[in-house]
Amino acid sequence: MPPHLLFAIVFIEGYCSLGAEIIALRRLIPHVGSSIVVTAPTIGLFLLALALGYHSGSRVETNYRAVVARNFLISAVLMGAGLAGSSVNTIFAGTSAALAYLIFIGAILCPLAWLLGQTVPILTNLMRAQRSGEAAGRALYWSTLGSFLGSVTLSLGVMQLFGVWAAVLLGAVMLVVGSALVQRPQPLAATLLAAVAGLSVVANLGDRLRADTAYADYQVEVVVREGMQSPRAFLVNNQIASLIDNSDPPIHARYMQHLRHILLDDLAYRARDILVLGAGGFTLSHREPSNRYTYVDIDPAIRIIAERDFLREPARGEFVATDARRFVIETARRFDAVVVDVYSARTSIPGHLVTREFWRDTRHALKPGGVMLANLILDGKLASSYARNLLATIESAYGRCAVEVLSKAAERSNVIVTCFASEKGEAVRVYADERNLADIDSARSP
């Protein structure tokens, strides 16, 4: 095989193998989030499958071109159809997240990595080199270069400009082309390659309607809610992030109505600066001219999508496209209120936005006496270790906070936490029969 052709095929293998891993991690976000307990096993299992592919490829003794062409063709099917948004949603529909995750990894991602991992050890048999180390080193160079460019161009280029569906389709088409380059296809093989390319196009073009960006899947759908006129929901990563209807004034989601009630009625905020971490559907400031709002969201496309498909009018307030934690650390501005409403999946807050350090950073972004409001999705009884530990973490930064469970009988409920950036008082003490200072403390209280 001519060196330039061999290196082109190896480059395609590297580009598509790591590209598939990046796409898989992105596809998992709406279903299981992006925490380290998801990404680490996914990367580890991918590398394990890749290593097994290297070993299998080293044992191939004949029909080198035919084996690689076949592997590329099967990989194109796995990538073009298996990594399509509709396919991944089908896997996670109607089954537990853990089981669906194992099916996705075991049936799609790992077989794809195993097949592509065989490429370099097989094709080095076709290289003309004076030393085996030279042959392996040059092949690995082009494969790794492809992996680097695949991860960078797909995540920072294709996904940002066109969406995840375009990255999936590009990878599948490249594998089809790679299969044809390895071995000139006969009529039957050419028909199969065309069929696989067509399958990839059909499987992914429909995902354009969901506006899937590098950060999230977005969709607007009509829902039925009692007491609302023609309500529509703004779905972010398959969860309802915001609701709005055609009433005058519009009715929003219950938790959002509650947040607006706290700010506008309980605290009587007027002409105040309010920071909102996690834009959602921009409904906190929807037709609310009394205060000044600044929204922070990591996805630069969310405002355009929300205005065009959900609000159907311009969103009120300033918008900053950056990570929430970075913003509160770096900003020199101080706000009267910080609203934290950040979710990457139905019940999953990004791991770096639940730590004590993050909650302390939100406090630094507040003016003295300012309020922090957090919308959490927890079990209705607040009995889980996650609920108890998360609430304790918030209070370690703010002191005692108000906790309101909006649906106490529900398995999962919106929980609104209200904390004030006030000076910490003296250490708490427990009242006991032998030393009860309750009356003295009560008399000292305002």
Domain count, the chain: 2
Domain boundary among 210, 232, 255: 210
- Identify the pLDDT of residue 240: 86
Nearest to 49 by CA among 103, 97, 113: 113
How many whole angstroms separate alpha carbon 47 and alpha carbon 116? 12
The answer to whether residues 113 and 259 belong to one domain is no
pLDDT band at 160 (very low <50, low <70, confident <90, very high): confident
Nearest to 162 by CA among 317, 301, 262: 301
Q: Is residue 434 part of a domain?
A: no
- Identify the pLDDT of residue 126: 84
The answer to whether residues 185 and 327 belong to one domain is no
Q: Which residues contact 433 (CB under 8 A, 6 or more apart)?
A: none
- Identify the pLDDT of residue 427: 72
Q: Is residue 436 part of a domain?
A: no
The answer to whether residues 10 and 154 belong to one domain is yes
Dihedral sign from CA coordinates of 154, 156, 162, 165: positive
Token pair of 249, please?
Answer: 């004034």
| Single-letter residue type at 100 | A
The answer to whether residues 263 and 184 belong to one domain is no
The answer to whether residues 86 and 145 belong to one domain is yes
pLDDT band at 425 (very low <50, low <70, confident <90, very high): low
The answer to whether residues 199 and 276 belong to one domain is no
- Is the pLDDT assigned to residue 373 strictly greater than 90? yes
Q: Is residue 179 part of a domain?
A: yes
Is residue 423 classed exposed, middle or buried when 0-12, 13-18 and 19+ CB atoms within 10 A define those classes? exposed
- Given the DSSP bridges, would you call strands 402-405 and 413-420 parallel, antiparallel or unpaired? antiparallel
- Identify the pLDDT of residue 133: 79
pLDDT band at 403 (very low <50, low <70, confident <90, very high): very high
How many whole angstroms separate alpha carbon 375 and alpha carbon 407? 13
44 to each of 47, 75, 210, 418, how far by Cα in Å? 5, 19, 30, 40
Per residue in 323-341, pLDDT (tens digit) is 999 999 999 999 999 999 9
- Is the pLDDT assigned to residue 404 strictly greater than 90? yes
Per residue in 66-91, pLDDT (tens digit) is 999 999 999 999 999 999 988 998 99
The answer to whether residues 41 and 177 belong to one domain is yes
Report the mean per-residue pLDDT for the chain.
90
DSSP collapsed to 3 states, 97-112: HHHHHHHHHHHHHHHH
Q: Please report, to the nearest 10 degrees, the dihedral formed by the alpha carbons of residues 190, 196, 200, 201 taken in order.
A: 40
Token pair of 116, please?
Answer: 């592509």
pLDDT band at 347 (very low <50, low <70, confident <90, very high): low
Q: Is residue 445 part of a domain?
A: no
The answer to whether residues 119 and 138 belong to one domain is yes
Residue appearing with tokens 């609701």? 243
CATH number of the domain encompassing residue 163: 1.20.1250.20
- Is the pLDDT assigned to residue 54 strictly greater than 90? yes
Domain boundary among 187, 210, 233: 210
How many whole angstroms separate alpha carbon 119 and alpha carbon 378? 47
pLDDT band at 12 (very low <50, low <70, confident <90, very high): very high
Q: Is residue 438 part of a domain?
A: no
* Secondary structure (DSSP) of 332-386: ---EEEEEE---SSSS---GGGSSHHHHHHHHHTEEEEEEEEEEEEE-TT--SHH
- Is the pLDDT assigned to residue 129 strictly greater than 70? no
With pLDDT > 70 as the criterion, what percentage of the chain qualifies? 97
Q: Where are the alpha helices (DSSP H) in 93-163?
A: 97-104, 110-117, 119-123, 132-153, 159-161
In contact, 64 and 125? CB cutoff 8 Å: yes
Q: Is 63 helix (H, G, I), strand (E, B) or coil?
A: coil
Task: Report, as an integer, the average pLDDT of 119-139.
Answer: 82
Out of 121-125, 127-131, 196-200, which region has the weakest mean confidence (pLDDT)? 127-131
CATH number of the domain encompassing residue 251: 3.40.50.150
The answer to whether residues 288 and 198 belong to one domain is no
In contact, 96 and 31? CB cutoff 8 Å: no
- Is the pLDDT assigned to residue 130 strictly greater than 70? no
pLDDT band at 209 (very low <50, low <70, confident <90, very high): low
Range of the domain at 250: 218-420
- Identify the pLDDT of residue 134: 79
215 to each of 156, 300, 397, how far by Cα in Å? 11, 9, 29
Q: Is residue 444 part of a domain?
A: no
Nearest to 17 by CA among 142, 132, 163: 142
Task: Report, as an integer, the average pLDDT of 381-409.
Answer: 93
The answer to whether residues 42 and 169 belong to one domain is yes
DSSP state of 207: G
Task: Report, as an integer, the average pLDDT of 190-211.
Answer: 84
DSSP state of 80: I
Domain boundary among 189, 210, 231: 210
In contact, 50 and 111? CB cutoff 8 Å: no
3 to each of 17, 50, 120, 179, 318, how far by Cα in Å? 21, 24, 13, 16, 54
The answer to whether residues 339 and 361 belong to one domain is yes
Q: Is residue 430 part of a domain?
A: no
In contact, 72 and 175? CB cutoff 8 Å: yes
Q: Is residue 155 part of a domain?
A: yes
Task: Report, as an integer, the average pLDDT of 182-192.
Answer: 86
The answer to whether residues 181 and 258 belong to one domain is no
